[in-house]
Structures are given as C-alpha cells and as structure tokens.
Structure 1
Amino acid sequence: MRVTTVRPQELGHSELALWREFQAADPAQDNPFLSPEFTLEVAEFRPDVRVAVVADGNSVVGFFPYQRNALGVARPVGRGFRDRDGAALAPGVELNARELLRGCDLAVWQFDHHVTGQLAATSERSALLPSPVVDLRHGYDAYVDGMRRRSSVTLKGINYKRRKLERDVGPVRHEMHSLDGGVLRTFMKWKSEQYLRTGKGDFLAQPGITNMLTRLQHTRSERFSGSLAVLYAGDIPVAAHFGMYTPRALVLWFPSYDPAFAKYSPGFIQLMALSEDAAALGIECFELGRGRHAYKDQFKTGHVQVSEGWMARPAMGTVLHRVTTAPRQEVINFVRARPQIRAGVAAMRGTFRSVRARANQLRPGGPGGNKK
C-alpha cells in the first residue's frame, strides 16, 4: 500500500471521478458526507483538511479525507457537523490502519461515525453503535404503512396538525430545492435563535459556514446535491431543512422551523414531506443521524451500525491523546450504555442549558438584554 497526502483542491478530475465511482459501487459508502464535494467545501474554510490517496501498485484504490492538528491527531472532515466518516475504497479493499497512519504521518485517527469494515488492525478502543435510518427502498406508501403499525399515534397527530395548519394559514406544500437567498437567511435566523434558546453555541456563526451553505444550496449534480427544502403554508415558510443527498441517501442535517408555528409541529410535517420527496427521487435511505432524540425512534424503520473509537501508532501525539481525550470518551461510552445514568445526565444538561440560555437572553444585545 502506497499513501500520498494532498490538499483536496489538488485532486484532478479523473481522481474525483474515481472517488465517486468507488462510492457508487458500495451502498455503505454512498453517503453525502463521504462525497468529494463535501470535503472540497469544508476545505474552503478549514485549511487543515487533507486527503490520503491510497494506491496498490499503479492503481489508486482509495481516498481517505481527514483533518489534522499540529500533534498529528486526525479527525473526520467537518468534525462537529457531519454524521458519517470514512474512506472511499475500491470494491474489496480494506485498509491497514497502522500503515495508513504511517503513510499520512499521523499519530492518531479519532472517529465516531465510521463506516464499518474499512479498517483492519483497528484499536481495541472502538465500539459499534446504531445510527437510525428510514428505509425508503419500497417507496413512501410502504413507509407510511409501516409507520401506521409502529407509531400510529404519531402519524395521526402529524396528519391532524397538517390539516389544522392548512385551515388556519393556507395550503401546505413542500419545495425540495429552494434557491431563494432570502429563505436561506430566514432559515439561518431560525436556527441561530434555536441555538440561543437551548443554550448551545451558534454553529452557523462560525466563519465560512454561511458561504458553504450558500454554495451547497446551488450544487446539484448526478452524484451529489445540496438541498434547502422548505415547508410552506400558503406563501409563508414555516419550516426548512438544509441537507445533502446522493442517488442512494439523504441525510438529516440542519432542520429548523418558525417558532410562531410551533403548535402545528411543522418540523414533523416536513420530515414526512422529506421522506416522500426523497422516495420520489429514488433515494433508498433517509439517514437521521446518531443523536439521542425521541422523535427519531418514532420515525425510524431501523438502523445501521457505525464505529466509534480511535487508533494510534507510537508517537508523542498518541501519548497526549491518551492522557486527554481517551478517558473522556470512555466516560461518554459508559454513560450512553446505561439508560438510567444517561437520563440523569440528560436532566443535568437540560438544567445547564436553561441557565445558559437565560444568561444569553440577559446579556447586552441578547433578546432580553439592553441593546445599544
């Protein structure tokens, strides 16, 4: 195995085409977060993004994108805002983890949504975890029939609220690809306000994110598309979702809605509309992501397995990683595996977020603070 590391922008058209070909050949790899388009977009504002081009003899057999720090610790591209990581590999290829790290001059590879079966000689510090999905292979009607059996109360509630929204406001319609810049700004305003209300840091305020979403909004090709999907009642946008999809998979990425219409559950109405539109496009899988949210249990049909953990080779960066990151990750995994403890931790986090949200509202310039 021969490994060459490059910046994503240095890849040629033939190499990007081969990357897409590898994705298309394996359903597990056919995910927007593993697409070269996503890596290229993140590299526009994250200069630490690299791609390992893996060759066997004279043939390229894989592309492994990552971000690295000064200590040689690598993490997935778009860490903090992506739900799948891994490589794009030719059929039948499995990477030796230690050889890959050596070829990239890396001490550690830390991952949490990794495609299973791609890496041999992985660390014992890894685990398989479920990631919920909506199976659309048999079409939208089949999905609704299954949901009627699994979560009939949820489905009836969504249908009731959709009818009420139509009576009170106007006809409900769903647009899968909005190119309206004003709607994008409205969506981002809703999402930022949601982060503020819940006491979370505003992800959309990070440098480069706005430009990335704007470019993705206008990206549509045979193998990859960005999608600003909008739910309207009459002419009023009431919910929006910014996502991406390949011919096989749509990912739930940034959902949001207008709080003024919260009583109609517009986010749930849009989840059903997204599933319907995705099925109409021939998409087989709507990936909901690993987050612990009760609504995902109501909408999912099953799950796929992803890997979480880290692997390393002897280096100073490995030592520092063991001392700082690994114990924290072990605690997180311990809590996740025990529902009673997890519930208590979730309650404490909820209290903390409420306090922080209140502090955000009272700070100068915040919604409840003194404005200049």
Structure 2
Amino acid sequence: MFIAQKMTARCCVDSVSIMQIAAVRPQELGAPELALWREFQAADPIQDNPFLSPEFTLAVAEFRPSVRVAVISDGGTVVGFFPYQRHATGVARPVGQGFRDRDGAVLAAGCRPDAAALLRACGLAVWQFDHQIPGQLTAASSRAQLFPTPLIDLREGFDSYVQVMRRRSSVTLKGVNYKRRKLGRDVGEVRHEMRSLDAEALRTFMRWKSSQYLRTGKGDLFAHRGIIGMLERLQHTCSERFAGSLSVLYAGERMVAAHFGMYTPRALALWFPSYDPEFGKYSPGFIQLMTLSEDAARLGVEAFELGRGRHAYKDQFKTGEIHVMEGWMARPALGTAIHRVTAAPRQEVVNFVRARPQIRAKVGAMRLTFRSTRARVNNFTGRQR
C-alpha cells in the first residue's frame, strides 16, 4: 500500500459522508490500489476507457513529473482515483494533455466527490478538461459544454456493423472493399496484425507520423523523446484489463498503414493513425479502420471510439456517439481568477475555429505556411554558420 501522508484533507461529498484524499505520484501506488482502480473501471462501461487506465497514467508519468493521482478514501476504504497534471498557478489538466481523448476520475459506484473540496485537498485552484465524463464531479463554480464523440458500435459484432454501414454509408463501404481488393492485386495479399511488437515497425510508423505532422503544419509530437519512450513502453504493455497496440496493415511484405492505439475489454481508442503516402491512392487508412473494427469485435470490444472532432471520415464510419464535457471547475482562489481571464477565453476561440471547417482549413494553411517559412529560415541560417 502507498504511504498516504503526502497531502491529506477531508472532502465533503454530502451532508453525511466525509472522504479523505491523498495526492501521490502514480509510481507510489501499490498493487492493491492499482487492482482497485481496474476493478472500478471493469464495473462501469463509461469509465472503462484506456485513457483512464492506470497503465496510461503510469506511462505518461515516466516523462511528465507533474503527474499526480488523488486517491479518495471513505472510512479507510479507497473509493476513487483522480489522475491529473499539475500546472502553474494551481491549474490541473488531464494526464497526457494534447494527446488523449478522455478525462476524469475512476470512481466506485455511488462516489461523487465535490470538485472544489477535491481541488482544495490537492492544493489546486482549477480543473480544466475537454474530454470529461459527464456527471462525475460537481462544483458550484464551473462552466462546461457537451460535445459529441463519434464511435463505431460493436456490441452486436462486426457483421452487424457492416450491415449498418450498408444502410447508411454504402458508397464508403463499397469504396473501401474495392480498394482493398485492388491493393491485394497490385501489391500483395492484404493482412492485418492487431498487436505488433516489432521495434522497426514502430520506428517506421513514427517516421510516417512525423512526416504527416510536417505536411499539415502541426507540431511533431514524435520529436519529443518522452513521447517515443511512452509508445515503446505501451507497445509491450498487455494485461487482462489493458493493452497498448501497434496495429499494422501489410500488402504482401510491404507495411502500408499503421495505428498506435490502446484498448480495454470494452473500448478501443483511435489514437495515432498513419500510412505510407506511396500507397495513398488505395486509402490504406480506411482499410485499416475497417480491419481494426473487425479485430476489435473479435476480441469482444464493444466500442471503437474515434475521438472528439469534426472530420468527414468519422461521419462516414461512425454508427453512434457519446458525449463528453469541455470546461472547468474551480474553487475560490487566485489561480481561478487568473484562469478566467487567460486560458478560458483562449479555449473558446479554439472551439469556435474547430466547429467551422472552412475557418479551420484556413488557419491550418496559415500555420503550414508559417512553419515552412520558419524551417527555410532555420536551414538558411544553419548554412550561413
């Protein structure tokens, strides 16, 4: 068991129950706490998401030392875990900010902590989130909006999903099947590996993804050694309740697409998809999306979550959706006032752009031009030296 003496406070959930909280580093959690964490996930389909798994939190904590877990206890019994990253001025953000698609706590049935008291116990002022599970935490001072997250419903199996696709997206389904057959004829037999442990395949995937970020004007996540180490760790993480998964699509002996994701017994998360541009005319990413759905259904996965965000391909392949919250919860503190006049308005602007494809495309083009210009200037400066 961890030593619950790092930072403790009492958290009032209602007029009857009093809870205790200890904020610890994830590495300080013992096997009993981790087992309870997984048990709470297994009991609740909404919480059974790989981004809320202890394995993900531990992997991120290896290169982000600001990661903490608030362990919530009631009468000496642990009833919940709240993972977060601590930032300046007492602002808490989700673990893996910038590359994860689910936020929140993992709680025992009936546990609904008061967010203000939870923040106070952890020495925090604000909890800012954008993929929060609705209804988990309550706070008098808060602001949040609901956003849809598309998913592929696999509860009735892959064949049932294909039948739904035939009714609502028959053109998409026919196109994917045609291109898969053509890829097989032109290059070689198409096959899919759900969990590859090949280190070279991982390096190839990361090269593709870095090139994609460069082409689209986005910051390259894989330029950071910490992200690389996290994927290397997750690639070899597999247990009864969680698996990191480098999935690879081959045509003959050629690797044509890859996806790095994670899954629990109930949910597979779309995370980092990529493909070899040489095979772009075959739409290998779409082929892999269908094949991943088939493999996931075979494993008993009930939902393939495609991640929040408006993209045409998600509308083509989705058969359902869930909702997540974006916003903040706070307690009275200096950090709360600072947050309200800085980060909160910026996020509203970001949401405005994301919700409008035409504006988003123009912003993306401007970003690409800026990054390309900066790269040319850096190259020129390097030659002058």
Q: Shorter-chain TM-score: what band?
A: over 0.9
Partner of 1:281: 299
Q: Does 1:89 align with 2:103?
A: no
Partner of 2:195: 177
Partner of 2:369: 355
Aligned-partner residue type, residue 297 of structure 1 = D
- Aligned in 2, Cα 1:365/1:188: closer, same or farther, shift over 3 Å? farther
Structure 1 range deviating more: 61-70 or 270-279: 61-70
Partner of 2:118: 100
Displacement of 1:183 after TM fit? 0.6
Aligned-partner residue type, residue 47 of structure 1 = P
Structure 1 range deviating more: 240-249 or 91-100: 91-100
Question: What is the CA deviation profile of residues 136-183 of structure 1, one whole-angstrom value per residue up to 9, with x for unaligned ones?
Answer: 000001001101111111111111111110111000000001111111
Aligned-partner residue type, residue 119 of structure 1 = L
- What residue ranges of structure 2 are gaps of 5+ in the alignment? 1-18
Aligned-partner residue type, residue 319 of structure 2 = T
Partner of 1:206: 224
Cα distance in 2 between the residues matched to 1:285 and 1:323: 38
Residues paired across the two proteins, number? 366
Partner of 2:256: 238
TM-score (norm 1): 0.95
Structure 1 range deviating more: 205-214 or 72-81: 205-214
Partner of 2:317: 299
Aligned residues: percent identity?
Answer: 71
Q: Does 1:149 align with 2:163?
A: no
Displacement of 1:329 after TM fit? 2.2
Partner of 1:167: 185
Aligned-partner residue type, residue 348 of structure 1 = K
Aligned-partner residue type, residue 160 of structure 1 = Y
Q: Does 1:126 align with 2:144?
A: yes
Partner of 1:253: 271
- Aligned in 2, Cα 1:197/1:109: closer, same or farther, shift over 3 Å? same
Cα distance in 1 between the residues matched to 2:21 and 2:336: 20
Question: What is the CA deviation profile of residues 48-93 of structure 1, one whole-angstrom value per residue up to 9, with x for unaligned ones?
Answer: 0000001111211100000011311000000000000111100111
Cα distance in 1 between the residues matched to 2:347 and 2:303: 29
Contact kept? 2:309, 2:354, Cα under 8 Å: no
Cα distance in 2 between the residues matched to 1:359 and 1:334: 27
Displacement of 1:354 after TM fit? 3.7
Contact kept? 2:141, 2:331, Cα under 8 Å: no
- Aligned in 2, Cα 1:180/1:248: closer, same or farther, shift over 3 Å? same
- Aligned in 2, Cα 1:327/1:157: closer, same or farther, shift over 3 Å? same
C-alpha RMSD of matched pairs (Å): 1.8
TM-score (norm 2): 0.91
Cα distance in 2 between the residues matched to 1:333 and 1:255: 23
Displacement of 1:359 after TM fit? 2.8
